[in-house]
Structure formats: structure tokens, C-alpha cells
Amino acid sequence: MSLSRVRLEIDTAALRSNFAEIRRLSRSCRVTAVIKANAYGTGDLETGSILRSAGANRFAVADVVEAQRVSALGLPVQILGTLISPEECDEVVRNGFFAPVTGLVSARMLSAAAVRQQKSVPCQVKVDSGMGRFGMDTCAALSEIEEITRLPGLDIRGIYSHLSSAGTPENDYTLMQLKRFKELLFQLNKAGIFFEDVHLSASNGICFYPETCQAPFTMTRSGIIMYGCEKNHFEADNSLKSVLSLKSCLASVKRIRKGEGIGYGHTFLLPEDTLVGTVPAGYADGIPLALSNAGSVLIKGVRCPVIGRVCMDCTLVSLNDVPDAAPGDEVIYWGRSGEEEITPGDWAALKSTHVHDILCAIGNRVERRYL
């Protein structure tokens, strides 16, 4: 029996359904499942195992430490970011991870590690088509990539970049990035350099830019889209489902007099006698402070407003609209109850952030439950 007071429920059937839909949207491209940041808070090994059986061909992560964990799942592992030390390069070569090559400096460091170990390491060159982070500038990358391909120990398998503004269709900057990438690819092919893995499209690209899911592209990267919690993804032409629910329970219920203050700093004064419920989940569990006096939870199909400041370990809510509420009743932070639904996107809007931030903030003491 679990003693956890807060649980993140992962609907495995919905996750499998979403991945099947992503494979459909990706057309002839192979789909790499991105499970960095503990699979966006859902549990990398558990979620990865489900995605492996659903048809993922490869996993992608942010760094070497994540790659070490995910390698236990038995699929090839690709590191998407960059390598920053000889020690990281040694570990990548030792394990045969797909290595990012973001320029000559990282390429030489990786080549030296491969030569030391007398191995060949699979690599993908990363180019910057307009994100401004890691990678070679697409407008000047040709000569640098040509030099990289001559370094010993590097098995250059692919080329990739990342779209910065693909959350809506027909975005001019996204179309410019696509043009830059294709022009570089044409120049490389003309120079006799070809790649098995060619990918530009992550979750937004899969939804809104079908041209990134067909030749010359051979692969897509599926991340946040798998969980069905981005509003814009539902607006696209697909059949995605909500995967995640965050739940707790009422720990106490008591009536407090009109005019009394609630929570730290008394940021909320009760306008009437109020039935107040305490939920044993707070910002240490990933409940954002932005819900203070602004958000709500679902209890028995009714929206109950959050009152007072969210605490480290609990949240206070008004139960005046559910007068029969009692300790032990289920509290839904995200999910559906009756006709009502709260999503991670609703939290993101309150916090003026995006869904990735919400999911990655879910705390370690929250139980991940796979249904």
C-alpha cells in the first residue's frame, strides 16, 4: 500500500495511443522518444519502457548522466545537447551513445576519446538554424562539417537542428529555419556528405509542419506531445489524449469564521463563514505559488478555489460549494471530474509559463502511478 499523499497518474493506454498517433503524423520518419528530465517528470525508466513497447526506435536525453540511466532500457540513446568535458566524451565512447557534435572543438575532444579507446563512436552533427544555442551556424557550417568528417573515430550518422517558434503553422521564422537547414543539407550532399538520420522536427514541428516529416527528413523527436497536455497540440489535426492526472486528498475540513485570515501572510481574508479544506500537497510537490488565491481544484466534480498562499506542504481550498466534503475525499489538481477539467496548461497560464515548466517541477515525493 502506498503512503504517498500526492500521486501523478499516467494513463498508459492514452500514452500508447498518443505515440501511435505521433508515428502516424511522422509519416515515413522514424520516431525518437525524448525522455529527458525524467521523461518530463513522469519517470524515465517506466515511461521509457512503455514507449519502447509502443514502437520508439531510439531514446533521446539531454546529457550523459541521463543517457547512463536510460541505457538500461536497451534501445540506442542519443544525447541532444553538447559534450563539455573529456570525461563526458570518454563515457559516451565507452557506452556507444549517439554523440552530439556541435563544432570542431567538441568533435576533436570526442575524436581523441575514441582514439584512446580504439573505438568508433556514432555521432550526429548539430547545426544552429536560428535557435541561438548549441551547434554550428547553418550559413557557415559546410567547411567545418567537412573537416569534422575527416577526424578519426567519428562515425557521422546524422545531422539535426531545432525549431524555435514552431508552435503555430506558417510561422515565418520557422519557414526560414527550414529553408536554412535544407540549403545546408543540399550543399553537404553536393560535397558527397550524406546522413542516415536527418531531423529538425520536435513536438511542435510534428503537429504543424508536415514537411519536416517527409524527405529529406528521416526522423522526428517526440517529447511533450506524448502527454497530451499542450492546448495548441489539441488544436492541430490529430487524436491526442490527455495522459496525466495529479491527485491528492483532503487531510482536514473545518469551518472558519468570517474575517479570519488564511495561510502565510493572511493574503486572503474570509468574506463569509467558510468551510476550509487542507490538501497535503504544496510547492515542494510542484504546486505552483501562482495558484495562491487564483487557482482551483476539483472535488466531487466541483471547482473549489484555492484560498491563501500555497505552502510548502499543503494547499488551502474553500469547500463552501461542496458542504458534504470530508477528510479522505479525492482532490484533483489536474484531471477530469464530472463535467469539469483542469490541465497542466491551465497552471501554465496562471504562472505565465509553459507546460514543460509545470511538468518538470513535480517533486520527488510525488508517487508516479502507471494505470
Which residues have a catalytic role annotated? 36, 264
CB-based contacts of 12, cutoff 8 Å, min separation 6: 50, 370, 371
Sheet with 77-79, side-by-side order of all strands: 77-79, 58-61, 30-34, 219-222
Smallest Cα–Cα separation from 221: which of 69, 81, 58, 67? 58
Please give the sequence-ordered ranges of beta strands (E in DSSP) within 116-202, or none if there are none: 121-128, 136-137, 154-160, 197-199
Smallest Cα–Cα separation from 155: which of 129, 113, 122? 122
Contact between 281 and 287 under an 8 Å Cβ cutoff? The reply is yes
Phi, psi for residue 302 in degrees, rounded to 5: -115, 135
- CA torsion sign, 297 to 299 to 302 to 305? negative
Phi, psi for residue 340 in degrees, rounded to 5: -100, 150
